[in-house]
Amino acid sequence: MMRRITRVQTAIAVLLLVPIVYLVIALAGPSLRAHQRERQKHAAIEKQVKETQSLWKSENFIPISDRDPEDIAAIIDRAVGSEVLGRNDVLTKHQRAKFVETLSEQAAGRASASPEVYLTMAKDDRATRWIEPTDEADWHRTRMFYERELGHEPTGTDPSQWLKEFVTNEFDTGHRLAAIADGSGGARILVFRVRAVEQIGLEASRAMNEAEFQYWFANNGYPSANFRVARRSIDEVISEEGSALIALVNLLVRTDDDTVYNWHSIWYWDSVNEAWQVFVMARKGWSASMFN
């Protein structure tokens, strides 16, 4: 008799639980479907990234490690080309020459045998200054990226010393630049003028079709750790001159450890200091921090 009662009680319990289970499923359904869609979206992005990186690696790369700056300048000069957005926006010969010179110095410093080459270039750059605690966003982000890459917090308060340690670690771990892509799929450089910082992304999207945009930007990546900043900001340029001349650079590079990524950077022309200043610098296609 007791067994029969137990079986009846069990049956009743099951019958009572069934509606609850269905209710839980019904309530959780949208959330589960949303989660599934998110996973599918993530998988599609990962597939796109892998396909893009495969295309990047198929490009022809020219070694630049320890090469003379003049040789690197010739490679950069070919990459720059003459692409200009807008009917009235054009680089003067002086601005173009300074642009090639700036990119070449950056590439040479990142591909040199010793970190001291880049460090000397940074210290001699009179158009920039070392960050200070009052530069709150750059100060905190740079310290965070330093700890992420080196595994410990930076000591002291001297950003030039932090940069030395950061670049040394980059070189020691195989992240030194070894080659630059030399081909139609290896570089995409746009030059245009904006009246607001927010206009930069819009101009870039207008200049590229969807396939091009996916090729260059549909990748993971991190912005740079800015150990130094421009003495004259892009906001100051726009405020004082009404607009800013922008150079948006996508350049495929390869490192000593055979990693290929898009060396993405955005520059603006500082007419007061006669210099191209970094606005954005990042690695696209590689989850590692850049330095500037």
Mean pLDDT of each 10-residue bin along the chain, 292 residues long: 49 48 56 64 63 84 81 77 49 88 91 92 94 93 91 93 95 92 84 93 86 79 86 96 94 92 94 95 78 85
3 state DSSP class of 263 = strand
What was the pLDDT predicted at 76?
Answer: 78
Q: Which DSSP helix (H) or strand (E) runs through 67?
A: none
What was the pLDDT predicted at 207?
Answer: 85
φ/ψ of 175, rounded to 5, equals: -95, 5
Q: Is residue 253 a contact partner of residue 106, using CB atoms and an 8 Å limit?
A: no
Q: What is the pTM of this model?
A: 0.81
What was the pLDDT predicted at 20?
Answer: 56
Q: Which residue has the tokens 């900043």?
A: 229
What was the pLDDT predicted at 216?
Answer: 86
- The tens digit of pLDDT for each residue in 62-112 reads 898 877 777 888 877 776 664 444 434 568 889 988 998 999 999 999 999
What was the pLDDT predicted at 84?
Answer: 46
What was the pLDDT predicted at 81?
Answer: 63
3 state DSSP class of 291 = strand
Tokens of 167: 């670049």
What was the pLDDT predicted at 227?
Answer: 94
- The tens digit of pLDDT for each residue in 165-176 reads 999 999 999 999
What was the pLDDT predicted at 56?
Answer: 86
